Amino acid sequence: MTAYRFLSTALLTAASAVFVLFPAQAKAGKVTVQPGESIQAAIDSAAAGDTVLVIGSATPYSEATGAHGLVITKPLKLVGKKSGGLPPKIVAEAGQEDGILAEGLVGAPIDGLMIKGFLIEGFPRHGIHLRYVNNFKILKNESANNLENGIFPTLSTKGKVIKNIAYGTLDAGLWVEAAYDVKVQKNILYNNPTGLEITISDNVVAKGNEVYNNVVGIGMYHPNGASLPPDPVGVNWKISKNHVYDNNLPNPADPDSLVGALPTGGGILVLGVDTVMVDGNLVENNDYYGVALVDWCTAVAGTPNNCNDNEPVADQWVRNVTVKKNTFINNGTNPTSHPLEAFASDIISLTGVSGANNCIDPNVYSTSSIFGGGVTNNLAGDNPCP
C-alpha cells in the first residue's frame, strides 16, 4: 500500500510538471462565410488549424482579385455546408487559372489540409490543385468542366481523395502525380480523356471508384507522359475493386498532344510502368480493351513521340505487374481505328522484355491478346498469380 501511494504521488507530481512545462494548446477556431462574403478574406484571416465554414447558396462565390479562385498557404479546414440543398459554388473570374490552389513551399509544405463539400466550375486549368501539401484530405467535392484537370494533387504526401465527382476536363478527372502514400476511394469520374490518372508516384491505392464514359478509365502512364521531370521512385500502385465501364468517349483533347493520342475505348491502361497490382475490378463494355499492358515505345511508335526521334527512354518496359481476380465483360468488341486495334480484347499484353515478371491469372474474361516475353503466367488458371 505504501509503495502504491508513493507511485501515485510521483505520477501526479510528474503530470503536474508536464502540465506546467507544456500547457494545453488553444482550441482551433472557426470562421463562417455567408453568401456574398469573401472566402479568400476568411482564409487569409484564419489561423493555422482553423476551420473556414462556407455556407452554400444559389449565388456562386467568386473572388475578383488574384490569379486563382482561392489560394491556401497554411494548414486549415475549408468546409462547404449546403444550404437549401446547395453547396457553395466557386466560379472563375476573367483571367483566373485554378479554382482552389493549396500550395506550400519546397522544404516547408503545408502540413494538414482539408477541402470538403465544394462545387468548383469553369476554371481553365484545375479545379482543386495541391502542391507541397502533406496530410491532406479532399472529400465530397464536385469538379465540373475545369478544363485541364479536375482534382490534381502533386508533389504532396499522405493524402486521401474520397467521394469526389470530377467531369468535363481535357486531361484527367483526377490526376495523382509525384505524390506519395495517397488513397483514392469511392470517387465518380466521367467525361474526361482519362478518368483517373497516376504518374511518377509511390504507394497509391485506388479502390472502389466508379469510372465511366472517359476515353481511358484508369491510366497509369510512363514518366514521359507526366508534366514533371521523371522522379526516380518505385510505383507500388494498387487498383482494386473499381467499376470501370463504358469508357468510349470520343477524345476531346488536342489530337497533336499526348492526351489527344489516346484511343477511345480503354478500361485500365498500364503504360510502361512498374510494380502495379490490378485486382478485383469489374471492367465491362469498353470498346477497345478491358486491361492493356503496353510498353511505352510500342504505344508511341509511329507518332511524333516515338522513341527513335526523341530523348532516350531510361526504362520503357512494363514490369512486375499483376492482373488477377478481375471480371472482364464485353470489352474490345468495337475498337476505334488505331495501329494496335487488331489486338482489341478483354485483356491485352504487348510487352517485349523477357523476365519482366508480369502475371495475368486468374481472371474472368472472354478474349485476350498476349504477345511478347513479359508475362510469366498464362491465362488458364493452372498457375495463378501469388
Phi, psi for residue 9 in degrees, rounded to 5: -65, -40
CA distances from 286 to 204, 210, 247, 329 (A): 24, 14, 5, 9
DSSP H stretches of helix in the chain: 2-21, 39-45, 296-300
Say which residue the cell 523477357 belongs to: 354
Query: Confidence class of residue 245 from pLDDT cuts 50, 70 and 90?
Result: very high
Q: Is residue 24 predicted with pLDDT exceeding 50?
A: no
Give the integer Cα–Cα distance in Å for 297 and 316: 6
- The single-letter DSSP state of residue 155 is S
Q: Is residue 231 predicted with pLDDT exceeding 60?
A: no
Q: Is residue 20 predicted with pLDDT exceeding 70?
A: no
Mean pLDDT of 313-335: 92
Give the integer Cα–Cα distance in Å for 375 and 209: 27
As a whole number, the mean pLDDT across the chain is 88
In this prediction, residue 4 carries a pLDDT of 27
Q: Cis peptide leading into 304, omega within 30 of 0?
A: no
Cα torsion angle, 355, 357, 361, 366, sign: negative
pTM assigned to the model = 0.90
Q: Is residue 260 predicted with pLDDT exceeding 60?
A: yes
**SS3 state at 302:** coil
In this prediction, residue 376 carries a pLDDT of 62
Of the candidates 144, 143, 193, 154, the one whose C-alpha atom is nearest the C-alpha of residue 172 is 193
Mean pLDDT of 247-271: 95
pLDDT in tens, 122-173: 999 999 999 999 999 999 999 999 999 999 999 999 999 999 999 999 999 9
